[in-house]
């Protein structure tokens, strides 16, 4: 079974504008698809790759130009310093959940796998699980997570339903969770609703948005002029952060303009319009359908 088929592979690698002697980062190694494509374009250059999932390390190719570390990209600066790098020529991050995670019932990322445990940890050694969130978080905290991370309009009712159900028995797996919230799920849109619910829980468990913000902020110092930052996002919350950061140099609001109307931001948007998969790619890899690629070049 393929660990993961990378989305927008050609477009993202071209977006890095790779120099054969450059130093690059794959912040989300996964199945190694993007890393292998980067290595194909390097001669004397180096690739430093990260992944917080121990399973991903088994996909490492035998290549002396590659250093693969188990770790979260929120600590990218520290890992680079450990390998003697103050700056790199390009950084790529594919923020999606790998096919391996969705297909492995034990990891609990898919609501379509009956009796899958409520886990959802990218790093299996981390402490917080979706089970803990569902069974221990106060109702108000659950409401905020479902509203903010899942953008679910009935978040208050959903949180209340979970709290009511867990008083009788712990909610341990996908079947029990779906049964507990059955009255909240709109008919005819079950899969879409549950996908948003699972997205909200996964973001909370892994601190995904805070990690992304950290990567974006670090990239300002880690990339020299004309260095490239390539980000593939899979939902509007991630994509909005990347879009705003490239456009305004901040996550919310607008950058201040000088008296001439110019904006001083750290990145130039290489693609003013977001890049999405072609119909052919989606037909080949349905999990790529929500991918959105943005490329920033350091000013």
pLDDT digit string, tens, across residues 231-242: 999 999 999 999
The residue-averaged pLDDT of 268-275 equals: 95
CATH class in words for 109-206 = mainly alpha
pLDDT of residue 272: 87
pLDDT of residue 156: 98
The residue-averaged pLDDT of 49-70 equals: 95
pLDDT band at 2 (very low <50, low <70, confident <90, very high): low
Look up tokens 């979970």; give the residue.
Answer: 162
For 257-269, what is each residue's pLDDT tens digit?
777 777 789 999 9
For the entire predicted model, the pTM comes to 0.94
Shortest CA distance to 92 belongs to which of 279, 259, 222?
Answer: 222
CATH 3.40.50.150 assigned to 9-100+208-298: yes
Lowest mean pLDDT among 18-32, 54-68, 99-113, 139-153: 99-113
pLDDT band at 25 (very low <50, low <70, confident <90, very high): very high
The residue-averaged pLDDT of 8-33 equals: 97
- Return the percentage of the chain with pLDDT > 70, whole number: 99
Give CATH 1.10.150.170 domain extents, the chain: 109-206
Q: For residue 200, how far is the Cα from the chain centroid?
A: 13
Average pLDDT, the chain: 94
Lowest mean pLDDT among 90-94, 99-103, 124-128, 189-193: 99-103
| Burial environment of residue 201 by CB neighbours within 10 A (0 to 12, 13 to 18, 19 or more) | buried
Residue 171 structure tokens = 């909610």
Give CATH 3.40.50.150 domain extents, the chain: 9-100+208-298
Shortest CA distance to 60 belongs to which of 42, 47, 73, 75?
Answer: 47
pLDDT greater than 60 at residue 1: no
The residue-averaged pLDDT of 270-283 equals: 96
Determine how β-strand 46-51 pairs with β-strand 66-70. parallel
CB-based contact 154:184 (threshold 8 Å): yes
């Amino acid at each position: 079974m393929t660990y993961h088929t990378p989305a927008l592979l050609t477009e993202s690698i071209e977006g890095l504008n790779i120099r054969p002697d450059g130093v690059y980062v794959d912040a989300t190694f996964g199945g190694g698809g993007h890393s292998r494509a980067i290595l194909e374009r390097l001669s004397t250059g180096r690739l430093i790759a990260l992944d917080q999932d121990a399973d991903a390390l088994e996909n490492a190719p035998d290549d002396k130009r590659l250093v693969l570390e188990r770790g979260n990209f929120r600590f990218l600066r520290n890992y680079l310093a450990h390998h003697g790098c103050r700056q790199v020529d390009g950084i790529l991050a594919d923020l999606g959940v790998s096919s391996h995670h969705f297909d492995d019932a034990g990891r609990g990322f898919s609501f379509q796998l009956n009796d899958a445990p409520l886990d959802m940890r990218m790093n299996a050694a981390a402490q917080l699980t979706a089970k803990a969130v569902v069974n221990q978080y106060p109702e108000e905290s659950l409401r905020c997570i479902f509203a903010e991370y899942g953008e679910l309009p009935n978040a208050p009712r959903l949180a209340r339903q979970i709290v009511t159900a867990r008083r009788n028995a712990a909610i341990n797996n996908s079947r029990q969770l779906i049964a507990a919230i059955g009255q909240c799920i709109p008919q005819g849109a079950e899969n879409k609703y549950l996908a948003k619910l699972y997205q909200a829980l996964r973001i909370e468990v892994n601190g995904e948005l805070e990690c992304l913000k950290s990567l974006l902020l670090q990239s300002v110092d880690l990339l020299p002029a004309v260095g490239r930052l390539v980000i593939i996002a899979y939902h509007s919350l991630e994509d909005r952060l990347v879009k705003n950061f490239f456009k305004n140099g901040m996550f919310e609001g607008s950058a201040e303009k000088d008296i001439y109307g110019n904006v001083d931001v750290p990145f130039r948007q290489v693609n003013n319009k977001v890049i999405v998969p072609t119909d052919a790619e989606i037909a080949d890899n349905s999990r790529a359908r929500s991918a959105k690629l943005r490329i920033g070049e350091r000013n």
